[in-house]
Every structure is written in structure tokens, then in C-alpha cells.
Chain A
Amino acid sequence: MSVAATARRRKRVNPLQRAERRQAIGFISPALLGLAVFTVLPVGLAIVMSVYDWPIFGEREFIGLGNYAELLSKSPDFWPSLRNSFLFALGYVPLNLVISLGLALMLSARIRGRAIFRVLFFIPVVTPMVANAMVWRLMLQPAGPLNGISEAMFGITLPNFLVDKNWAMISIIVMSVWAGMGYNMLIFTAALEQVPASVIEAAELDGAHGFTMLWRIVLPMISPSVFFASVMTIISALQVFTQPQLLTNGGPGTSTVPLVMFIYNTGFKFHDLGLAAAAAWLLFAIIISLTAVQFRAQSRWVHYEH
């Protein structure tokens, strides 16, 4: 039988399969409907909006790539907000990954009460970010407990964290790491549990201990999880909004306005939906490119053998 004939036979679908496919469409149509209404439509609309001068009300005018040109050359706040998003990501992603991995490693040892610790570190992930941010705002104020303790115990007045140009971004990063580390810790914990004891034993017999064990054996074994965590953490870092909105309102000046807050302000406070949509598309392009680069680079360090 020729190859072409085999292919034709494979393509032929029997009535049973056809019926099953119809049923499958029935089953997934609610999900598809949701996808269409909440994803495809807004994304499509955003593309259209980005090439229009689209005020919240009034006449809309097609301006081609005018919004993109304005963002890249004229808008005074676009580049600073892009820089702020990257600054945040540069601080947040490594800190988050290192701390959450550290916690997972510490809690993978058979210590007493480790389940309680895991729950404690995971709590900030499940409490609403708004509540977290409000508590941190109270804590970081000059009249808050942090400065109170420092003044009472050491006689040192701490900086006004949320309005100091050098400390505002650091405060947001620290708060975000605290709020987000529990999630990655859980992923790393699950991965560490999956590392076969036999591999560790064999490595120990070969003389691997401490840092060598971590670097040469454990990390390569859990590298798919590290890869997943780093991809997701970078994406969430570039989408940061709630923390700066509630802690600093983007201040002092524009030093903590990330790109998403720029998009929100441009669209919903300053009424320029077209410009906001264009900025959203640029953010999308940046995130998708970074993610693509990470996927391409994964062959160098992510091991799926086991």
C-alpha cells in the first residue's frame, strides 16, 4: 500500500467519531464562549482601539500607528513607566525565586511543624493583595510600628519609605516578595518531593554534599519547576499594578508608576483609550518576546530526562 493511500485511510472518519466530535463541541462550547467573550473580543477590540484616536466619549478617528509613535517619542510618562516595570522585575524576580527556593529547601527537611510553616508562608498568597498592601502601608509609615520600634529601641529614625525616592521602589519590591513568595515555595516544595531518594543517595555515595548537591543534583532535577516559576514570575512582575497603586500611587513623582498603571491612568483617568490600548499592546509584545526567549533558552538548562 502506498503512503498516500495510508494517509487517505487515516483521514477518513467513521460515523462514530463524527458523533463524538459533535458531542465534544457541545461540551467545550461553554468554555469557548467564555474565551470568546472575555478574551478574543477584548483583545481584538484593543487592536482596533490602538490604531484610533479613541477618547472615552466623542468622535473616534483612525490614526494608524499614531498612538505608538506618540508613546515612543512624545509621551513624557511612557518610558519612565517602562523603566519602572523593568526595575521592579529586576528586583522582584530574582529575590522571589531565591527566597522561595530557600524556604522550600529549608522546609523539605523533616523538621517539626514544617506543615505549619508552609501554611504560614502561603497565607499572604491567599489574602487579597489590597489587604496586604494596606497593612504594609500602615507599617511603613513614619507613625507606623516599624519606625516606632526603631526609634524606641535604637534611637534611629527610619526613612519615610513610601515617599522617599530611593526607598519607594524597594518598599514595593520587598512587600511584593513577601506577598508572592509562598506560591513559588509551594511549586518548589512539590518538585523537591518528586526528586527520587535513590538519586540523592547515589550522589551522596559519590561524595556530593551541601552546595555541590544543590547545584549539581537538586537544581537540575527540579529545573522544569524553576523554569515554570521563573516564566510565571517574570510575567506577573511586568504586570504589577495593585502594590504601587495602593502603597505609593506611583509616587514620589512618577518613580513607581509601572507600565500597567500608566495604561490604567491613560485610559480610565485621562480618557485616552487609544493610547492606553497601544501601550497595552507594547506590554504584550514585551512579555511575549521575553517568554519566547525563555522558552528558547530552556534547552540549555532545563532537564526533562527524569
Chain B
Amino acid sequence: MRFTKLAVGVVAAATALTMSACTSGTTSAPSAGGKTTIVWNMWAGDTDAEQKLRDQMAVAQKLVGDDITIELQTAPWADYFTKLNANMASGNVACVTAMNGQRLSGYTDAFVELTDADLAAMGTSRDKYSAGALAPMEVDGKLYNLPYDTASMLLFYNADLFQKAGVDLPTNDWTIDDFQKAAEQITAKTDAKGFAVSVDEFQWLSLPMAKSGLQAVNESGALDLTNPAFVEAASWYGDLASKLKVSDAVPSASDSGWTATQFETGKAAMIVEGTWMVGSLTAADLGFSASAVRLPSGSKGAYGVTLGSGYGIAKTCANKDAALKVLGALTGAEAQAVVAAQSDLPARTDSQQAFYDSLPEANRESMTSAFTSSFEGATGQRVTDKWTQVAEAMPNNLVSVYTGQMTMSDALTDLQSRFGG
């Protein structure tokens, strides 16, 4: 009996100890000698990506001085938000936390609002950013993050496959019809497919959006996947794989990297990807000549959205002043120059030229015009509170559309009924 009581006592004591430990989580730790450590949480899929971040961090570390130590913590993109959720549940969000524009609406509770005074304290201001770059970082007119890049979607193409099929190379004035004809010709005349469809949110949404001139979320902020014009455009996109066969079907809903791999291995002549992929998708070592143009336009003209990612300060951060310093350094001109050299388009206008200058000379001119035309008149992307759920559920329905086992209309109606309410 006594033995049992003792055992229960040990268990209870340990439980109490852990519970008290749970509530005392801290996100910035003052260490010996008055130094503060600020944790910077960011996604990175491999050692190359992490090294790029370390290069940015080295610049930022010099700027903030010795009193603050920046500590980088990373997780791959696919796990980043799950890890962030777990950190939030335990009240342990890193002081400086990366956020993606499409996901921000679900995470505003985790970040402090950045006021103009905060921006001034960091030595920056809104007018330092290129048009549309701040929009993905705002929800209901409040700024929660400072962007490190600004992005849009492009049509990447394999010039060798175009030449092989005897098809003229894409231009920034291409229409959806031009795109479809080229995809069909390349599929017919080469071993490769003309296009590779995708299951990722803007990688697949971009062409239906360009064709219909509509977003998946309407101007009043409601999910609008069943808008007849959007359904028609999306059905056309699904048919590229299921009926026209100018693309293979995505082999698994869990294979989100499939589309880029199809392009990189020369199995697909065109894909839609983000501007942030320009480094790897036009790399010299791909074995073929690759470039990119603006998304083809639909009957209502060109239509694209600006996307982007940035860093914010956690509400639970114990040392906001130090975090502001780090945030200012990580998004400042010096770090942005490093971002530019790493083939990502910086959000600050004054750093963007460095990015264009860093492009390989062979296609610098064409890429620069692709970028500038993509951002011309681009609208801010719209999302709903449940956008993360929508984006998570999309691939599972899309894979069935591409194999022809489900109509696009049914797939979108299902998503609308689950997440539209």
C-alpha cells in the first residue's frame, strides 16, 4: 500500500514539475554578461538553403553588434508550419519568425503589429518597398511582417524542347491559346510532355486565374471556388492532363516536388513556378537552356498576383527591442543585397537592381523583362482564414481530377462546401 502511495507521489511530483516547466517557456534568453539571444525561425529544405540563411545572418549579426546573438532554427517548408503550430501551442514561438503571405491570415494572433514607429526604429519605412511587396504581409490593413522577398508566378520553359518541336519560344505577350497550342505540339513531336500540372496552390491556381481573371477568393474575402467562370477555367486546366494529355498526371498527392522535377529532368517543356525558383529552374547545369516569361493572358488580359514572405516578431517575445534590431538587420539593405545575390528578388526597391545584375548574362535581358512585366499590374493575393486548410486539401482532390476520376467541378464544389462556410 505504502509502495503504491509513494509511486503515485513520484508520478504526481513529476507531472507538477513538467506542468510548471510548460508555462515558463521563454523565447529570448538573456545570457551571461547581459547578452541577449534572439532566435530566428525560418524554413530551409537542405544544407544549401540553410547556408544561404547563414550568409544573411552573418551580415545581420555584424549590424546588431555583440550584445545580441542571432540563433537560426530551421525546418523544411513542408514541416515548417506544423513545427510553428507546435511552438505556438507551447507558447514558444521564436522572437523573429518567418511567415509566408498566403499563410499569414491564420497566424496574425502570433505576431505583434508592426507600426510605422517600429519601422522607423528599424531605420526603414513603407516607401522603401516595391509596389505590392507589403500587401502579402498585411491583414485587414495591419502590417505583421516585413518582407524579405517579393514574388510572382512565371511560366518557365525548356528552350531546347521548343526548338526540337519547331515551336516558337514563349513571349511575355503569350495568350492561353498560344500556350495550349505549343504544349500540344511539343507533346506530339517530342518524347517529353508540353506541360506539367501541379497540385500546389499558386503553381496550379495561376493558370485558371490568368484564364478567368478571377481569384479563388473574391473581392469581399469569401472563398469563391464555384464561380462558374473560375470552374470553367480550372476545368480547362484539369483537362490538360486528363483529356488533352499534354501533361502527365501527378503520381501522388504527397509528391509536391513532382512538377519541378519533371521540368528539371527534361520530361516537361513548361511549368508554372514562383520567381523564387529562378535560380534552380534556369541553372546552367540543368543540361538544357531554360528561361521564363510572364504567365499567358486570358481573354481579359494579363492577370497575376504578388506573393511574398517575410519575418515578424512573436507576441510572446520577451525582448521586443532586441527582436526589432534583428528584424531590421535581416530585412535591411545589407541583408537584402545577400538575398539578391542568392537569386531571390528582394522586397526593397533599392536592392532589386542587384538581383537583375546577378542573373546569368545569357538570359539577363529576357528574365528581367519577364520579371518586370509579371509585376506590372499584379494584384495582391487574397486568402481566407481557412486558406491553409484549403491549400492542404487541394492536392488530394486534384490528383483525382488529373487522372479523370473526378471532374474539376466536383473537386471545387467539395472544397467550397468544406471550407467555404
Contact = CB atoms under 8 A, between A and B. Distances in A.
A137 B254 contact: yes
Contacts of A53: none
B11 interface: yes
A137 B88 contact: no
B395 to A, nearest CB: 6
A56 B389 CA distance: 15
Given A245-B254, A249-B396, A271 B106 contact: yes
A90 to B, nearest CB: 22
Given A250-B396, A269-B392, A36 B14 contact: yes
Interface in B244-291: 248-255
Contact of B399 (A58, A137, A251, A273): A251
Interface in B180-206: none
B253 A252 contact: yes
Given A252-B406, A253-B406, A32 B11 contact: yes
A40 B10 CA distance: 12
A163 B399 contact: yes
Contact of B250 (A163, A271, A273): A163
A122 to B, nearest CB: 27
B294 to A, nearest CB: 30
B389 A270 contact: yes
Contact of B389 (A25, A58, A252, A269): A269
A133 to B, nearest CB: 9
B396 A254 contact: yes
Interface residues on A, range: 35 or more
Interface centre among B254, B414, B417 (most CB of A within 10 A): B254
B193 to A, nearest CB: 11
Nearest to A41: B15
A293 interface: no
Contact of B252 (A24, A57, A248): A248
Interface string A255-268: 00000000001011
Given A32-B14, A248-B254, A265 B406 contact: no
A89 B240 CA distance: 37
A37 interface: yes
A273 B251 contact: no
B345 interface: no
B397 to A, nearest CB: 6
B403 A163 contact: yes
Interface stretch (B1-9, B36-44, B132-140, B304-312): B1-9
Interface centre among B6, B81, B251 (most CB of A within 10 A): B251
B251 A57 contact: no
Nearest to B255: A137
A30 B12 CA distance: 13
A252 B400 contact: yes
Contact of A56 (B88, B255, B405): B88
A36 B402 CA distance: 49
Contact of A271 (B18, B85, B406, B418): B85
Contacts of B109: 57-58
A35 B10 CA distance: 10
Contact of B14 (A25, A37, A56, A249): A37
A265 B248 CA distance: 28
Interface in A49-66: 56-58
Contacts of A250: 253, 396
Interface in A134-154: 137, 140-144
A17 B114 CA distance: 66
Interface string B51-84: 0000000000000000000000000000001100
A54 to B, nearest CB: 9
A269 B252 contact: no
A269 B81 contact: yes
Contacts of A142: 248-249, 251
Contacts of B89: 56-57, 273
Contact of A252 (B3, B106, B110, B396): B396
B222 interface: no
Name the 4 nearest CB pairs between A and B, nearest first: A251-B396, A251-B253, A249-B254, A36-B14
Given A163-B253, A165-B405, A250-B253, 6 more contacts: A57-B88, A137-B255, A141-B252, A163-B251, A253-B414, A254-B396
13 contacts: A33-B10, A77-B418, A162-B254, A163-B402, A164-B403, A164-B405, A246-B254, A247-B254, A251-B397, A253-B396, A253-B397, A253-B414, A269-B388
